[in-house]
Every structure is written in structure tokens, then in C-alpha cells.
Amino acid sequence: MSTLPPIPLVTLEPTPAVSCSNCAACCCQLEVLLLTDTGVPERYIDTDEWGGEVMARLDDGWCIALDRDTMRCTIYENRPWVCRIFEEGSPECLEEREQLTTIYR
């Protein structure tokens, strides 16, 4: 009886947990409507085509309030209500993360 070579063991990369700390702030490219006054500075506010107030975004789509070095919100204490209810790990969050992964793949 011949002996087959052993199957090498491989260690799979663990799937990183869904966390804002290991995310490239995917959700900060979405349009953010300002539905309540949370103290967002005027200079960060834009008007959409229907006249609604939204967070201004730069040409590449990222929110103007995002620190592009740290990928953190620079107005966290005053962030819009929409940003507060966008939950880490929610279906919407997972969808955004998936889309970003696809873009960079």
C-alpha cells in the first residue's frame, strides 16, 4: 500500500469582527439628511436637489466632516441623527462594508 503525502494544514485568516474600528468608514459616503438640529456646523451643511439639508460631501463622495487620515468623524458629538442610528453590524452596515470590499478586491 502506498503512502500519500500528508495534506498540509493551513491556518485560515480569521474573519475580522464587524466593528467601526476596522472599517474604512464605509457609511460616511452615503447621503446624510439632516432631520433634526444636532449642532452640525453650517459650513458642513449642503442643500440637496429637493431643498433638504444634507451633510456636504467632497467630489469623491466622502462626507466633509470625515478626518481622512484617521477615518473618524470630526464632529462626533454633533453628528446628525441619521449617523447616530446607523448601527454597527446592522444589515445596512454589512451591505456598505461588503460593497467597499468588492470595490477594493
Q: Summarize as ranges the residues that interact with ligand SF4 (CB under 6 A).
A: 18, 20, 23, 25-28, 32, 55, 63, 65-66, 73, 75, 79-80, 83, 86, 88, 93, 96-97
Which C-beta is closer to ligand SF4: that of 5 or that of 14? Answer: 14
Whole-angstrom CA distances from 13 to 17, 20, 26 are 12, 19, 22
Which C-beta is closer to ligand SF4: that of 15 or that of 79? Answer: 79
Which C-beta is closer to ligand SF4: that of 18 or that of 37? Answer: 18
The nearest distance, CB 28 to ligand SF4, in angstroms, is 3
Here the cell at position 31 is: 447621503
Specify whether the CB–CB gap between 26 and 99 falls below 8 A.
yes
- DSSP 3-state percent helix, strand, coil across the chain (nearest 5): 30, 10, 55
Q: Is 61 in a helix, a strand, or coil?
A: coil
Which C-beta is closer to ligand SF4: that of 20 or that of 53? Answer: 20
The nearest distance, CB 72 to ligand SF4, in angstroms, is 8
The nearest distance, CB 97 to ligand SF4, in angstroms, is 5
| Contacting residues for 63 by C-beta, under 8 A, at least 6 apart | 28, 29, 32, 55, 56, 57, 73
